[in-house]
Structure 1
Amino acid sequence: MEAESRQWTAALVVIGDEILSGRTQDLNVAQVAVWLNQHGIRLAEVRIVPDDLNRIAETVNALRAAHDYLFTTGGIGPTHDDITVDAMAAAFGVPVVVHPDARRILEDYYRDRPGGLTDARLRMARVPQGAELIPNPSSGAPGVKMGNVYILAGVPYIAASMLEALAGKLEGGRPVVSVTVGARAPESDVADLLRETEAANPGVAIGSYPFFREGRYGANFVIRSEDGELAKRTGEELARRLREEGYEPVAGGI
């Protein structure tokens, strides 16, 4: 019973100067969050850090100690500024080595490709000593697992492929179920109603997300719970009370 009620958490470190400069728009936060929720793990914290070895190592050590899992995206490619592996090794206090299985994977992947396995491409076989590999069906170069830290590629479709390879391999709780109720109701008008509904239904959390469409204000109220039936009942109750108060429902709500 204790295992069922435990809340598993993870953090995500997005690594890269290109994210902080705005040149590249990050897409990994959303897909990592969705994937984690499917495994009953809540993404509790996200940090974006530059390509700075010390900053990465400090952030990794802080977050891996604070959460059950830590994921990182970015900085494991073939170029000189891909320093995530080096930073991870510094965080764990171990040297960087070429993983023999990673080297074999890259040799096979590049055998019939122009240029073959160059020194630059071989950088993608480097791991902190003692690390395990995360399969990468998309582009050959594997991800890396070190303790409770999972090092993924920054390219979203490759990161997604690595997450698929991890499916079912992490311990977690129950996924959080979300139910959305939409209404033409300004948040300030229904704040007390939302608070009362949440208090009357222990085990749910209600978030409010305003919108402005077709010249009118409204909001989507999202009910979240690990108990799917409870989330549904609470959503139905909230939708009924909003109708009774005279607020028009909007498409997508209950």
Structure 2
Amino acid sequence: MTATQSDRIWTAGLLVIGDEILSGRTHDKNIAQVASWLQVQGIRLAEVRVVSDEEDRIVAAVNALRADNDYLFTTGGIGPTHDDITVDAVAKALGVGVTIHPDARALLERYYADKPGGLSEARLRMARVPEGAELIPNRMSGAPGIRHGSVFLMAGVPHITAGMLDALTGTLEGGVPLKSETIGCWTAESEVADILRETEAAHQACQIGSYPFFREGKVGANFVIRSTDAEELSSCVHTLCDALGTAGLDFTPGGI
């Protein structure tokens, strides 16, 4: 692998679709699990957008996110009801038609064979895909996810999304996975701002995030150091610990 290949950062955008998310009726749980899964694949989640069930908004978001990233994932809007319009919107964004995927139809026929109502017209909507798409296996409910090139359409239900991600594991090209270490410290982050800035500046391959908290009547912060370079990450951790110790601050490797 050349230096250019190994240093490349692969990115993904995530589009969360659904009025229920924006109204607060449903709390999204997919962002965290998609981000964690992507990190293991060597892909960074670079941007997340949440849009309503409006075709024009979905089309605009799809085109913006796929233009800026290597991959685009969507969650929500691929079910059997009239407001599940993700397939139509993505097809419009891609400039292709919508068709019934024969393998998806066969999967749904088997899944609903012994269920009341069988494969109804509403349920058959879950076999609709943008033309040229492949299927993402769904071991939970029969209805598959959809892949069209670098665009991945997944369910809004978190445990179903998790299964689809599992089916995709190892199939996407990515870079070196992003590693992280956490150091916790009972101090206000403003008191160590200079230490954090100087430590990060001395380790160009690392990024340091500061996440303050208030517990047990005390102010503290967790410092998360991230890097694709294991040696640089270790060096940065030691430098930060030394600096915090020199400043007379109590810190806890692994976070508080």
Runs of 4+ in 1 over 4 A off after TM superposition: none
Cα deviation digits, residues 62-115 of structure 1 (max 9, x gap): 111111000000000000000000101111122211100000000011111222
TM-score, normalised relative to structure 1: 0.97
Letter in 1 for 2:32: A
* Paired residue secondary structure (2:251): coil
Deviation at residue 251 of structure 1 after TM alignment: 7.0
Aligned residues: 254
Cα deviation digits, residues 189-219 of structure 1 (max 9, x gap): 1111111111111200001011111111111
Cα deviation digits, residues 147-192 of structure 1 (max 9, x gap): 2100000000000100000000000001111100111121111111
Deviation at residue 237 of structure 1 after TM alignment: 2.1
Q: Which of 35, 38, 41 does residue 39 from structure 1 map onto? A: 41
Letter in 1 for 2:77: G
Deviation at residue 232 of structure 1 after TM alignment: 2.4
Cα deviation digits, residues 217-248 of structure 1 (max 9, x gap): 11111100001232123112212221221111
Flag structure 1 segments of 5+ consecutive residues without an equivalent: none
Q: Does 1:107 align with 2:109?
A: yes
Q: Which of 220, 239, 242 does residue 240 from structure 1 map onto? A: 242
TM-score, normalised relative to structure 2: 0.96
* Paired residue secondary structure (2:116): coil
CA contact (8 A) 2:183 2:253 kept: no
Letter in 1 for 2:84: D
* Paired residue secondary structure (1:46): strand
CA contact (8 A) 2:43 2:174 kept: yes
Report the Cα distance in structure 2 between the residues aligned to 1:193 and 1:139, rounded to whole angstroms: 51
Q: 2:69 aligns to what? A: 67
Q: Which of 181, 184, 187 does residue 183 from structure 2 map onto? A: 181
Cα deviation digits, residues 22-75 of structure 1 (max 9, x gap): 000000000000000001101000000000011101111111111100000000
Q: 2:32 aligns to what? A: 30
Report the Cα distance in structure 1 between the residues aligned to 2:238 and 2:253, rounded to whole angstroms: 15
For the aligned residue pairs, the C-alpha RMSD in angstroms reads: 1.2
